[in-house]
Structure formats: structure tokens, C-alpha cells
Amino acid sequence: MAHQTVLIISDSSDFARAITSKWQRERNSPTFLTNPLHLQPDSFDLAIIGTTNASVFDLVQSFAKPVIHVSRVNGEASKLSRVIHIPEVDGWPELAITLAKQILEHQKSASDLAQLSEARSQLEREASLGRYMLEMRHNLNNALTSILGNSELLLMDDQPLSSGLRLQIETIRNMGMRMNEILQRFSSLQKEMQLVEQQSSNKAAKGVGAGA
């Protein structure tokens, strides 16, 4: 539960102590907040509320965070969305902690899934760009061949060139050669990727054959 934060609110100091004293004995206990004043929407992941002013529920509810409400009576607060009521009976701290850990774990899993989905989308975009570059490689090679060939012909021409014009043509030729080197690297990477894919396919086929 590292890096997750639990807000604890109650008019009784014993309420927060009953939760934190037990939870902090665990290896991955969350960070605890006990002051609801000046809260920011993203400053906590879960709220555990005991006996307190009713206005606190309006504050926490406005942040759209899950809330565990511990009380002897299932009052009006439990009718609010995202509020789960726990009766204040013997063993309530353990029950509240167990429920809180389940909620935090679910939130963490949802966050991890969203990050993985975004990373996958980014990889797919980059793969599409890479495939486009490979598909356009032939056209780029043709264009570069024309550029390099014409620049070399101009430099070899018997007609004298001014030093400035010669320098510009040499720059065009040199940049064309650099672009050609980059395209050659693309070709090399493509061959390496195809080899890795082929090796992976062969291993998978052998694994299936061995298990048959």
C-alpha cells in the first residue's frame, strides 16, 4: 500500500489511534492524515470517518473519494454515495482496516491497469510510426540516391563553381550520406527484429512439441 494515503476523521482521538496503532504494525501501511482542514482533492485515497460533524461528510463527498463510516447507528451519512457503513462493535478496527486494504488494493490495481493501457497505446503509436518508416524506406532511398548522384555530378562538373556554391553542394551531399546511414540502420534493425521473432517462434514451436 506504499504511497497511498488514508484520511481519518473523528471527534475522538482514540478513534484514529485504534486504527493507526494496529495498521502501522504491518510492513506496508499507508500514510495517515488526521486533519481535514485545507484538504486538496488528490491529497488522500480513502477516508475513514467516525463520530464527527456532519459537514465533514459534505467535504469528503465533494472529493469523490471512497469513505468508510464507523458508527453505532446506520445514519444519514451511509445514504451518501461512496460511503460504506461499518457498525461500531467489538473488533471494528480490524474490520475497517481489512475493508480499507481491499479498497486501496482495488484502486492500485485500477491505477496500474490505466498506466499499462497508456504505455501500450504509446508503444502501438511508436510501432505504427516505425512500420511507416520501414514502408517508406524504399522511396526515401530512391530520393536520396537522386540527391547524392546529382550532388556528385555537380561537384565533378568541369564548369567552375564558386566557393560558396561548392560548399552548399558538399553540405547537401554530406547530409544525404548521413540520412542514408540512418536508413541503413533501419534496415539492420528490421533484420535483427525479424531474427528475434523467428527465434521466439522456433522456441515456442519446440515448447509445444515437447509438451505434446
Give the chain's domain count. 2
How far apart, in whole angstroms, are the C-alpha atoms of residue 47 and residue 15? 13
Cell of 41: 482533492
Q: Are residues 142 and 183 in the same domain?
A: yes
In a domain, 206, yes or no: no
Q: Are residues 77 and 23 in the same domain?
A: yes
Which of 21-30, 88-97, 117-126, 198-207 has the weakest average pLDDT? 198-207
Query: What b-and-e string marks burial along 114-125, b requiring 16 or more CB atoms within 10 Å of the CB?
Result: eeeeeeeeeeee
In a domain, 135, yes or no: yes
pLDDT at residue number 1: 44
* CA atoms within a 13 Å half-sphere pointing along the CA-CB vector of 136: 9
**Could you report the per-residue pLDDT of 41-93, keeping only the tens digit for each?**
678 899 998 888 777 777 777 777 888 989 887 665 556 667 888 888 899 99
**Could you report the per-residue pLDDT of 98-157, keeping only the tens digit for each?**
999 999 999 888 888 888 888 888 888 877 877 777 777 778 888 888 998 999 888 888
Q: Are residues 47 and 20 in the same domain?
A: yes
Q: Are residues 84 and 15 in the same domain?
A: yes
Domain containing residue 184: 119-188
